[in-house]
Chain A
Amino acid sequence: MPLRKYTVLSVASILFVLAVWSVVTYSKLIDPLFLPTPGGTLEALSKEIDEGIFFKDVGVSFYRILMGFVISTIFAVPIGMMMATSRTWQAVWEPLIGLIRYMPAVAFIPLSILWFGTSDMQKFFILFLGVFFQEVIMIADNCKTVNKSLVEVGHTLGFTKGEITRSIVFRAALPGMVDTFRTTWGWAWTYLVVAELVAASEGLGFRIMQAQRYLSTDRIVLGILVIGLFGLITDQLFAWLYRRMFPWKTLEKAKG
């Protein structure tokens, strides 16, 4: 499909949803208490900016998600690589991670408040639980799918196991890892908002919860839309990063 046609279709699908939204709200088919008009939502945005809370909320949420994600990733990458390249470390980590992975992060919220109060640490903790245990399994998979013959090349060139892991396995698995980051970053948003909904005094999730108390549906919808938009932007950033970091991947795809 030519790129222009693709763009036209993408814009059209968004415009269509906007149009349906406009029709059902401006025609008073749905009470604004339940769903605000697009214009009303924009008004809520300008009000929040005037009150000086919008950018603060965005900043706080972004800081929390970034920290939670970075902490998870700092642990997930080396541990995932260890699990993929060493039977011993796999035996040590896998049962533990496999068990905790199935404990819903959300169920830890009461415990997290008990331990960390409503501080940022509590958000990092929930983010870590939600992200790390999934991420580490995916990173291990990224490393396990590295072509075995590349590892053998390392052996024939006289490399040690550590050198092979660093300069072959890691590099070969890196594109897959960036894809993993892209996916887990999306999950991180979900866990952040859940954590902020329950226990916070600022942040996008908190704002949504507070708006519910005052029946400010416009601010609820605004919060949800902003989160969606940020998700989309960061997702595109990851895609751009991928193309920049791995030009050879694009070549491989072109070759088929």
Chain B
Amino acid sequence: MAVHLAQEQPASKEVMLYAEDVTKTFMSNKKEITALDRVHLTIHQEEFVSLLGPSGCGKSTFLRLVAGLDAKTRGTLTLNGVPIEGAGRDRGVVFQQYSLLPWMHAWENVAFALKKTKGLTAAQKKEMAYHFLELVGLRGFEKHYPAQMSGGMQQRVAIARALVYRPKMLLMDEPFGALDAQTRRDMQDLLMRIWAEEKCSVLFVTHDVDEAIYLSDRVYVMSAHPGRVAKEMTIDMHKPRDWNDMLSDRFVHYKREIVSELERQKSLHKQALQA
């Protein structure tokens, strides 16, 4: 049994993302602000990891460092053993605000990500775009403009765009934060299904506790001012999960642990402010 469990552990897989003592400071009104303070975390191959925390805890800042959109101030940050310097096609990024090119049809937005891919004909690129749109459940909407689609549909296009060039790692910055509750639930199930099919590592940033537990293999809980990793938690539940699992004792147990940690952080912060 123990051997079996060890095989199930994602820790047995190779490390995909490695962060050690990652610190990010920036200047604001001539004062140095520490957005991230010595963050240490690891994400393995094919592992789904959430970064959970209140606004201002630096979780999005961390994602931007991994995406290569900003540069860290100090520390080590490697992807597949190679230091991250700048953005690159080994990572796919999904932003909260969809960020689709409004002058392109849905399929063109997806195919746009293949612009730099060599050895593919235009027809093949179109075919791949159509395939990935089907994967995210947008068959029949290939020739719609973003303005003709709902927020959830636009985010599906953005996910297809981030996956079509097969990055090693998918980075998602509160991707469902702007969606209504029902659409968000649908998108979570969609993401879980895609993740099972596409098998890539995911760094998922969210402030929604349920969402983090529901989707993740592991959750890093962050605290704010400055942004630090406060707690790491392995979600030991079978996958794929469904809404029933959200009512299970185990789920509630994880949720209680995380919420109490977040509450503890909050009162600590309040004390610090008073002192």
**For the complex, is B243 an interface residue (Cβ under 8 Å from A)?**
no
Known: A248-B102, A251-B148. A149 touches B115 (CB 8 A): no
Q: B177 to chain A: closest CB distance in Å? A: 14
* Number of residues of chain A lying within 8 A (CB) of chain B: 23
**For the complex, is B190 an interface residue (Cβ under 8 Å from A)?**
no
Within 8 A of A (CB), among B69-123: 69, 86-89, 91-93, 95, 97, 99, 101-103, 112-113, 115-116
Q: Are A252 and B67 in contact, with the CB atoms below 8 A?
A: no
Q: Are B116 and A157 in contact, with the CB atoms below 8 A?
A: yes
Of the stretches A80-88, A118-126, A167-175, A210-218, the one at the interface is A167-175
Query: Mostly helix, strand, loop or mixed at chain A's interface?
Result: helix
Q: Are A252 and B95 in contact, with the CB atoms below 8 A?
A: no
**For the complex, is B68 an interface residue (Cβ under 8 Å from A)?**
yes
Q: Are A255 and B147 in contact, with the CB atoms below 8 A?
A: yes
Known: A158-B89, A158-B116. A153 touches B99 (CB 8 A): yes
Q: A158 to chain B: closest CB distance in Å? A: 4
Which residues does chain A contribute within 8 Å of B89, judged by CB atoms?
A: 157-158
**For the complex, is A34 an interface residue (Cβ under 8 Å from B)?**
no
> B89, B99, B116 — which one has the most chain A CB atoms within 10 A of its CB?
B99
Complex-state Cα separation, A150 to B69, whole angstroms: 12
Complex-state Cα separation, A171 to B113, whole angstroms: 16
Q: Are A149 and B99 in contact, with the CB atoms below 8 A?
A: yes
**For the complex, is A152 an interface residue (Cβ under 8 Å from B)?**
yes
Residue in A150, A167, A172, A248 whose CB lies within 8 Å of B145:
A248
Complex-state Cα separation, A168 to B102, whole angstroms: 10
**Contact size class for B?**
20 to 34
Complex-state Cα separation, A74 to B41, whole angstroms: 52
Residue in B92, B116, B147 whose CB lies within 8 Å of A252:
B147
**For the complex, is A159 an interface residue (Cβ under 8 Å from B)?**
yes
Q: Are B147 and A158 in contact, with the CB atoms below 8 A?
A: no
Complex-state Cα separation, A254 to B148, whole angstroms: 10
Residue in B87, B93, B103, B115 whose CB lies within 8 Å of A171:
B103
Known: A157-B112, A158-B116. A149 touches B103 (CB 8 A): no
Smallest Cβ-Cβ distance to A253: which chain B residue: B147
Complex-state Cα separation, A123 to B265, whole angstroms: 71
Q: Are A156 and B91 in contact, with the CB atoms below 8 A?
A: yes
Which residues does chain A contribute within 8 Å of B116, judged by CB atoms?
A: 157-159
Q: Are B92 and A156 in contact, with the CB atoms below 8 A?
A: yes
Complex-state Cα separation, A255 to B146, whole angstroms: 11
**For the complex, is A246 an interface residue (Cβ under 8 Å from B)?**
yes
Q: A198 to chain B: closest CB distance in Å? A: 44
Q: Are A246 and B115 in contact, with the CB atoms below 8 A?
A: no
Q: Are B69 and A157 in contact, with the CB atoms below 8 A?
A: no
Which residues does chain B contribute within 8 Å of A246, judged by CB atoms?
A: 103
Q: Are A251 and B88 in contact, with the CB atoms below 8 A?
A: no
Report A136-160 CB contacts with B as 1/0, cut-off 8 Å.
Answer: 0000000000010110110111110
Which residues does chain B contribute within 8 Å of A149, judged by CB atoms?
A: 95, 97, 99
Which residues does chain A contribute within 8 Å of B103, judged by CB atoms?
A: 171-172, 174, 246, 248
Smallest Cβ-Cβ distance to B93: which chain A residue: A156
Complex-state Cα separation, A248 to B100, whole angstroms: 12
Q: Are A150 and B113 in contact, with the CB atoms below 8 A?
A: no
Q: Are A158 and B148 in contact, with the CB atoms below 8 A?
A: no
Q: Are B145 and A152 in contact, with the CB atoms below 8 A?
A: no
Smallest Cβ-Cβ distance to B112: which chain A residue: A157
- Residues on B facing A (Cβ under 8 Å): 67-69, 86-89, 91-93, 95, 97, 99, 101-103, 112-113, 115-116, 145-148, 162, 165
Q: What are 21 of the A-B contact pairs (CB < 8 Å)?
A: A152-B69, A153-B93, A153-B99, A155-B86, A155-B87, A156-B68, A156-B91, A156-B162, A157-B115, A157-B116, A158-B87, A158-B116, A159-B115, A172-B101, A174-B103, A246-B103, A247-B145, A248-B103, A248-B147, A251-B148, A252-B102
- Residues on A facing B (Cβ under 8 Å): 147, 149-150, 152-153, 155-159, 163, 167-168, 171-172, 174, 246-248, 251-252, 254-255
Q: Which 5 A-B pairs have the closest CB atoms?
A: A251-B147, A158-B89, A155-B87, A156-B93, A149-B99
